[in-house]
Amino acid sequence: MSIEIENESGADSPLEDILALAEFAINKMHIDSSADIEILLVNEVVMEAYHLDWMQESGSTDVLSQPIDGLRPGKPNEKTPAGHLGMIVLCPQVAQRQAVTAGHSELQETLILIAHSILHLLGYDHAEKDDEKEMFALQQEMVAEYLESVGK
Protein backbone atom coordinates (compact mmCIF):
# COMPACT_ATOMS: atom_id res chain seq x y z
CA MET A 1 0.00 0.00 0.00
CA SER A 2 1.35 3.37 -0.89
CA ILE A 3 0.27 6.20 1.37
CA GLU A 4 2.14 9.39 0.68
CA ILE A 5 1.92 12.11 3.28
CA GLU A 6 3.40 15.57 3.20
CA ASN A 7 3.10 18.22 5.90
CA GLU A 8 3.35 21.70 4.42
CA SER A 9 1.12 23.24 7.10
CA GLY A 10 3.78 24.48 9.49
CA ALA A 11 1.86 22.76 12.31
CA ASP A 12 3.05 19.85 14.37
CA SER A 13 0.74 17.01 13.33
CA PRO A 14 0.40 13.33 14.28
CA LEU A 15 1.73 12.00 10.97
CA GLU A 16 2.33 8.44 12.23
CA ASP A 17 -1.26 8.17 13.47
CA ILE A 18 -2.61 9.66 10.24
CA LEU A 19 -0.69 7.07 8.21
CA ALA A 20 -1.68 4.22 10.51
CA LEU A 21 -5.36 5.20 10.48
CA ALA A 22 -5.34 5.50 6.68
CA GLU A 23 -3.91 1.99 6.42
CA PHE A 24 -6.38 0.71 9.02
CA ALA A 25 -9.33 2.29 7.14
CA ILE A 26 -8.23 0.97 3.76
CA ASN A 27 -7.93 -2.53 5.22
CA LYS A 28 -11.30 -2.22 6.99
CA MET A 29 -12.95 -1.21 3.71
CA HIS A 30 -11.38 -4.18 1.92
CA ILE A 31 -9.29 -2.22 -0.56
CA ASP A 32 -6.44 -4.02 -2.31
CA SER A 33 -3.18 -3.52 -0.43
CA SER A 34 -1.47 -2.04 -3.50
CA ALA A 35 -3.92 0.88 -3.73
CA ASP A 36 -2.45 4.31 -3.14
CA ILE A 37 -3.56 7.54 -1.55
CA GLU A 38 -2.03 10.98 -1.07
CA ILE A 39 -2.46 13.07 2.08
CA LEU A 40 -1.36 16.69 2.13
CA LEU A 41 -1.45 18.91 5.21
CA VAL A 42 -1.59 22.62 4.41
CA ASN A 43 -2.11 25.95 6.16
CA GLU A 44 -5.32 27.96 5.96
CA VAL A 45 -4.19 30.16 3.06
CA VAL A 46 -3.36 27.16 0.90
CA MET A 47 -6.53 25.36 2.01
CA GLU A 48 -8.60 28.32 0.94
CA ALA A 49 -7.06 28.06 -2.54
CA TYR A 50 -7.90 24.33 -2.73
CA HIS A 51 -11.41 25.02 -1.43
CA LEU A 52 -11.99 27.62 -4.13
CA ASP A 53 -10.47 25.45 -6.86
CA TRP A 54 -12.18 22.16 -5.95
CA MET A 55 -15.50 23.34 -4.49
CA GLN A 56 -15.84 26.91 -5.80
CA GLU A 57 -16.30 28.04 -2.20
CA SER A 58 -14.34 30.78 -0.49
CA GLY A 59 -12.71 30.51 2.91
CA SER A 60 -10.66 27.79 4.50
CA THR A 61 -12.13 24.44 5.47
CA ASP A 62 -11.03 21.45 7.54
CA VAL A 63 -10.53 18.76 4.90
CA LEU A 64 -11.13 18.10 1.22
CA SER A 65 -11.19 14.83 -0.70
CA GLN A 66 -10.51 14.37 -4.39
CA PRO A 67 -11.30 10.84 -5.65
CA ILE A 68 -9.22 9.67 -8.62
CA ASP A 69 -10.13 6.15 -9.79
CA GLY A 70 -13.64 5.98 -8.31
CA LEU A 71 -12.88 2.95 -6.15
CA ARG A 72 -15.65 1.58 -3.95
CA PRO A 73 -15.49 -0.53 -0.78
CA GLY A 74 -14.84 -4.22 -1.24
CA LYS A 75 -16.07 -7.21 0.73
CA PRO A 76 -14.17 -9.52 3.08
CA ASN A 77 -13.79 -12.15 0.36
CA GLU A 78 -13.62 -9.73 -2.56
CA LYS A 79 -11.18 -6.83 -2.25
CA THR A 80 -11.55 -3.75 -4.39
CA PRO A 81 -8.93 -3.83 -7.15
CA ALA A 82 -5.77 -1.76 -6.81
CA GLY A 83 -5.90 1.81 -8.00
CA HIS A 84 -5.36 5.39 -6.97
CA LEU A 85 -7.88 6.15 -4.26
CA GLY A 86 -7.30 9.89 -4.45
CA MET A 87 -6.01 12.87 -2.54
CA ILE A 88 -6.87 14.25 0.89
CA VAL A 89 -5.99 17.83 1.83
CA LEU A 90 -6.22 18.58 5.55
CA CYS A 91 -5.76 21.86 7.41
CA PRO A 92 -4.46 21.16 10.95
CA GLN A 93 -5.16 24.72 12.12
CA VAL A 94 -8.88 24.32 11.38
CA ALA A 95 -8.85 20.84 12.94
CA GLN A 96 -7.32 22.30 16.12
CA ARG A 97 -10.17 24.79 16.49
CA GLN A 98 -12.80 22.15 15.76
CA ALA A 99 -11.33 19.82 18.38
CA VAL A 100 -11.78 22.51 21.04
CA THR A 101 -15.36 23.14 19.92
CA ALA A 102 -16.14 19.40 19.85
CA GLY A 103 -14.55 18.85 23.25
CA HIS A 104 -12.12 16.14 22.22
CA SER A 105 -8.42 15.89 21.42
CA GLU A 106 -6.77 17.29 18.33
CA LEU A 107 -5.63 13.74 17.53
CA GLN A 108 -9.20 12.47 17.59
CA GLU A 109 -10.42 15.35 15.38
CA THR A 110 -7.61 14.77 12.89
CA LEU A 111 -8.36 11.05 12.71
CA ILE A 112 -12.09 11.70 12.27
CA LEU A 113 -11.31 14.02 9.36
CA ILE A 114 -8.99 11.47 7.72
CA ALA A 115 -11.57 8.66 8.14
CA HIS A 116 -14.27 10.99 6.79
CA SER A 117 -12.16 11.81 3.75
CA ILE A 118 -11.31 8.19 3.00
CA LEU A 119 -15.02 7.40 3.04
CA HIS A 120 -15.61 10.26 0.58
CA LEU A 121 -12.88 8.81 -1.66
CA LEU A 122 -14.80 5.53 -1.59
CA GLY A 123 -18.06 7.16 -2.69
CA TYR A 124 -19.74 7.82 0.65
CA ASP A 125 -21.59 11.09 1.00
CA HIS A 126 -23.69 12.89 3.59
CA ALA A 127 -26.02 15.00 1.47
CA GLU A 128 -29.05 12.96 2.55
CA LYS A 129 -29.90 12.34 6.22
CA ASP A 130 -29.74 8.52 5.98
CA ASP A 131 -26.41 8.66 4.13
CA GLU A 132 -25.05 11.09 6.73
CA LYS A 133 -26.07 8.78 9.56
CA GLU A 134 -24.36 5.81 7.89
CA MET A 135 -21.18 7.70 6.98
CA PHE A 136 -20.72 9.40 10.34
CA ALA A 137 -21.33 6.16 12.23
CA LEU A 138 -18.76 4.38 10.07
CA GLN A 139 -16.13 7.08 10.53
CA GLN A 140 -16.63 7.08 14.31
CA GLU A 141 -16.41 3.27 14.36
CA MET A 142 -13.18 3.38 12.32
CA VAL A 143 -11.54 5.90 14.62
CA ALA A 144 -12.66 4.11 17.79
CA GLU A 145 -11.43 0.73 16.51
CA TYR A 146 -8.12 2.23 15.41
CA LEU A 147 -7.54 4.00 18.75
CA GLU A 148 -8.41 0.81 20.63
CA SER A 149 -6.06 -1.24 18.44
CA VAL A 150 -3.12 1.04 19.29
CA GLY A 151 -4.06 1.49 22.94
CA LYS A 152 -4.87 5.20 22.83
Round the average pLDDT of the chain to a whole number and report it: 94
Residue 40 sits in a domain whose CATH number is: 3.40.390.30
pLDDT digits 0-9 by tens, 89-145? 999 999 999 999 999 999 999 999 999 999 999 999 998 999 899 999 999 999 999
pLDDT digits 0-9 by tens, 31-48? 988 899 999 999 999 999
Query: For 4-10, what is the mean pLDDT?
Result: 96
Number of domains in the chain: 1
| Residues in CB range of 19: below 8 A, 6 or more apart | 3, 5, 39
Share of the chain above pLDDT 70, in %: 100
- The C-alpha angle with vertex 150 and arms to 141 and 125, in degrees rounded to 5, equals 25
Q: Is the pLDDT score of 6 beyond 90?
A: yes
pLDDT of residue 89: 98
Q: Rounded to two decimals, what is the model's pTM?
A: 0.94
Please tell me what DSSP assigns to residue 82: P
| Tally of CB atoms within 10 A around 82 | 16
pLDDT of residue 109: 96
Domain that holds residue 27: 2-149
